[in-house]
Structure 1
């Protein structure tokens, strides 16, 4: 059986994994760093361990239609567990490692999961707390922990290690192996493969059910567009696997392409791990790309005057070339640009690529939220092709992608061929097709609302331009209408503010009010360095935020942004938040998106200070 891109959407992921193990069993599939060394897992071992996991789960009572909850950082065991659930005709669902126990409790309760895979003691403790408080976990029967460090004295009535699960699988292989193989054979592409709980910016998260066909048809189309295969694509897995983007661009894309996935030690070691493995592909959310750019800015400040001059001249000249390259569909626009870029690469840009670990990247992606055009332009200037994608959980990760020939700056590219689209009268993007989800778990009302008139309502206001490239304006619910009747798109102004190295987060205000204002969270690291260079003393985020000189700094950054927009779109007043926004305090989702309603409630005093009687 040949695993062609046309054939793949007609299979399930366990069936693909089994075929990969049969045809390329000795090739490298997974790498994880342990005690300073990268440990290798072949495709053959990947399938064997996933199958043993499935046999162990079956022995514990997991059956077709069940759901397996996974609360863990990224690891090979995450993959084994996810695929094992699918082998048995069930579905895996992820829980963010940063979620507090009440959020974990809600997801496990709502999904009616009977087994939870935990990464370590911290995640296990959350499950134990969730089971002991406020209604408990009535369907939970078993907790399985990957890293048992520190848990020697824990009760073992419902707790077992992942190694014990594998050993159970080995002991039951002769008895149950044929039944698991039968379930793999009987899997259908329209079976639910995964359940992804949305981040819940407006309420409790909903569990989006995605089939094998949803995920595989989407990933296969991305592979076709960008020419991804085992020779042109390898990836570092570091974003939470419970998010549909990481699941799609690492686990699922690996099934499609047969590529190698390496697991980052943590999100804080991404750049270090990138340098070590030098992948051919990379997916980054906006904050990752922003932090990478900032890391170069920090490094340049510590160089000699001559090195800074070379950097500044190279970036300025490279930016001109990058603009022409993007306008030319991602290809260098002329022989002169090719020659000039070659010189810049040798003199400066090559070293910057290597510093970031992106020197071998052929195809990089940016998605998950809106991003400043200046940030994307910076990486094209370095010679790293970053293609912006657009999507959501309910369309299996991506519905649009920039691609060679369609790289208009600020757009998210063209529609994937597995979707149809139309734009409603109010500008909302509507989708349908193979990539659209099966509905929300145990929530027919929300499913019907999402699929009103037979189309998936994305909630995003968009425009099409050029060669039908998608430009996302903002979330429909986030559009501000001032008391003067002016419609304002917050994300454009907020992204412009976040271009400043001193502003970490910005929340635009003004709905129903006479003028625009903003709540600003400063970036502790960059603003702290600025304060040190200006001999300003501070001890905490709050003391830094309250410093009058810092307020002057932010006022200057806001005035710079105001000059880019029409007068009615100018920010007239602002307040610097006295604390950093935090997921645990309900101000951010697990994916670090701002919960606007929570912000307006929690910081009502600051908003009252801004508007007073002038609202």
Structure 2
């Protein structure tokens, strides 16, 4: 096995619970703005560390009156919002364990998670979620309460705890240690039933402190003002929770927004004005596509394309110089970059609120060229990699030494190794404690502190990891050719019209693909070609559109052998969606579910 380790950050390991840092900050810097709440008019109301601590204590006292005890499990089923963070820290203050549940989860998924964790209560956002939980209550004998945010349950619970002494909360909090379980987070479940990952207070603290140790300085480099981030990642996902905890521990200001659609996100970015962002590649793809369409509609499409290419070339040249493999951008390229820095790139940064300097990306693969573009446009982009079992990032590109297209080196205190079969194994303080009620799976996945990720990858000479696919996703054609589909899919998805691509070919004579289109990009393409808008089904038969997508497929095929190339494809009338059960909550493709859903289409690809 080839192995690479990044030394642990200096200083003692965390010993207490996650809530301790909140109380310490409130004691040390009570007037520090810790969070900002969204107001009804789209503005933001600041909440200091002292105010947030007092809210947390008041809610924690109310939770005690509702029968929540040390070690109890409480489910949180909501979109990303201020109250989630409030409940997290209130529950951790009394030694309870949180169980995130996606608000889009089906009743059977909710029943399974609440039953397996023996949750004693469930926080929901609205009436629909309450009805989902209510529909399965009969199968949940441990569940004694459902609290609803849009019925102001926070005020009601807080009022119920008015007579409880603060000292009772502190006594519970001081009994929480780093090895205690903080949360049970269920895997995204691309195949089979998801498993509950037991994540300790120490795991989450190690993850947050590694991020602060490795990237704290660049996150604090705001050019003036307090570091701040707008949290729109789902807090039901471990990535969002890790960002939340790192921000609280680092003294950064947090805002929440429940939607990731560009129509909701961009106005919030403009008003909140974060200094750094964490996001999944989908967000950066959408921002880029929107910027390109806006330029084309304003008659500046050619200018945007030139600026895009200059940004990519400039960032690539800078990267080569960083690693001693080139002289850096030449004089002509520097001049062109400077010209676009005065005219084009500031407009892109303004879309993110105008203050963002650093963006961190994870959850799935980011196209290298897209990462180079954002970096060249003045945003330091750091791509990382992790899983639920590693409490989010276990690798990330080091500060100031990014290799875009890779997921970087191990975070401080972590190690990465590549097994003989290409599987990525990792270890470190953020690696989880095991799977709830699955000792056999735990024993198979955790070997002497190492966790087998199930992902395939390679380490370069500098210890940077590149993920090449999933072991279980390998396609073996009927001729015996092995193919990891992720890289080929990513190349097809680089075309502006393409939203998603799923490569198929297991036990088939050749490789084929299911392709969905981006609705906004399609509408723009039709308009720019003087075409009428097509309904979803007309897309399937449009010859000119097929020719355009064939170009994307042909371009992707140039990177692989003929045996690995896509020989046929099918355009689908709509994107794969979370609601259909075809995506995980972190927007990864559920390959088996898509193959089953579109089995007829796949069969027709092989009729000849």
Mean alpha-carbon deviation: is it higher for 540-549 or for 103-112? 540-549
Q: Deviations over 1:252-275 (max 9, x none)?
A: 111321100011253222222112
8 Å Cα contact 1:406/1:467 also seen in 2: no
Q: Does 1:371 align with 2:347?
A: no
Separation in 2 of the partners of 1:338 and 1:258?
A: 37
Which residue is equivalent to 2:163?
A: 172
Answer yes or no: is the 8 Å Cα contact 2:497–2:521 preserved in 1.
yes
Aligned-residue Cα RMSD (Å) equals: 2.2
Q: 1:354 aligns with which of 350, 375, 378?
A: 350
What is aligned with 1:322?
A: 315
Q: Does 1:241 align with 2:235?
A: yes
Q: Which residue of 2 aligns with 1:141?
A: 144
Question: Bigger shift: 460-469 or 522-531?
Answer: 522-531
What TM-score do the two structures reach when normalised by structure 2? 0.92
Name whichever of 531-540 and 598-607 sits farther off.
531-540
Using the TM superposition, name which of 327-336 and 602-611 deviates more: 327-336
Choose between structure 1 and 2 for higher RCO, CA contacts under 8 A separated by at least 6 residues: 2
Q: Structure 1 residue 567: deviation in Å? A: 2.0
Match status 1:475 vs 2:470: yes
Structure 2 distance, partners of 1:516, 1:94, is 38
1:3-18 superposed matches below 5 A: 6-7=11-12, 9-18=14-23
1:32 and 1:263 in contact (8 A); partners too: yes
Residue 466 of structure 1 deviates from its aligned partner by: 3.2
Q: Which residue of 2 aligns with 1:151?
A: none
Give per-residue Cα distances to partners, 1:404-426, cap 9 Å, x unaligned: 35322211111123222321110
1:214 aligned onto 2:203: yes
CA contact (8 A) 1:237 1:263 kept: yes
Per-residue Cα deviation, 1:525-568 (whole angstroms, up to 9, x for no partner): 21133234445445642333343333232222212222333322
Q: When the two structures are superposed, what TM-score results if normalisation uses the length of structure 1?
A: 0.91
The residue correspondences of 1:288-307 to structure 2 (distance < 5 A) are 288-304=283-299, 307=300
> SS of the counterpart of 1:399?
strand
Q: Tell me, in whole angstroms, the C-alpha distance in 1 between the residues paired with 2:19 and 2:220.
A: 18
SS in 2 for 1:296: helix
**Aligned length, in residue pairs:** 589
Is 1:400 aligned to 2:399, yes or no?
A: no
| Mapped partners of 2:184, 2:208: distance in 1 | 17
Asked if the contact 1:330/1:407 (under 8 Å) is kept, the reply is: no
Stretches of structure 1 lacking an aligned partner (at least 5 in a row): 149-159
What's the counterpart of residue 259 of structure 1?
Answer: 252
1:156-235 counterparts in 2 under 5 A? 161-169=153-161, 171-174=162-165, 177-228=166-217, 232=222, 233-235=227-229
1:25 equivalent in structure 2: 30
Cα distance change, pair 367–259 in 1 and its aligned pair in 2 (3 A): same
Structure 1 SS opposite 2:174 = helix
Q: Which moved more, 1:442-451 or 1:70-79?
A: 442-451
CA deviation after TM superposition for structure 1 residue 361, in Å: 2.1
Please say if residues 428 and 462 of structure 1, whose CA atoms lie closer than 8 Å, have aligned partners that are also in contact.
yes
Partner of 1:153: none
Contact 1:330 1:405 in 2 (8 A): no
SS in 2 for 1:398: strand
CA contact (8 A) 2:60 2:94 kept: yes
Partner of 1:96: 102
1:434 equivalent in alignment to 2:437: no
CA-to-aligned-CA distance 1:174-211 (integer Å, 9 cap, x gap): 3xx32211111121111111221111111111111111
Task: Name the CA shift for 1:143/1:230 in 2 (closer, same or farther; >3 Å).
Answer: farther
Aligned partner (choices 416, 420, 426) of residue 425 of structure 1: 420
Q: Residue 542 and residue 51 in structure 1: after superposition, are their counterparts in 2 closer, same or farther (change >3 A)? A: farther
Residue 113 (str. 1) matches residue 129 (str. 2): no
1:343 corresponds to 2:339: yes
Structure 1 window deviating more from structure 2 (257-266 vs 228-237): it is 228-237
Tell me the SS of whatever aligns to 1:400.
Answer: strand
Match of 2:3 in 1: none
* Structure 1 residue 468, shift from structure 2 partner: 0.7
Q: Is the 8 A contact 2:485 2:503 kept in 1?
A: yes
Contact 1:329 1:404 in 2 (8 A): no
SS of equivalent residue, structure 1 residue 195: strand
* 1:381 counterpart = 2:376: yes
CA contact (8 A) 2:100 2:235 kept: yes
SS at match of 1:411: coil
Is the aligned partner of 1:63 residue 2:69? yes
Deviations 1:265-315 (A, max 9, x none): 5322222211222211111101111001101111111123xx444433333
**Structure 2: gaps (5+ residues):** 1-8
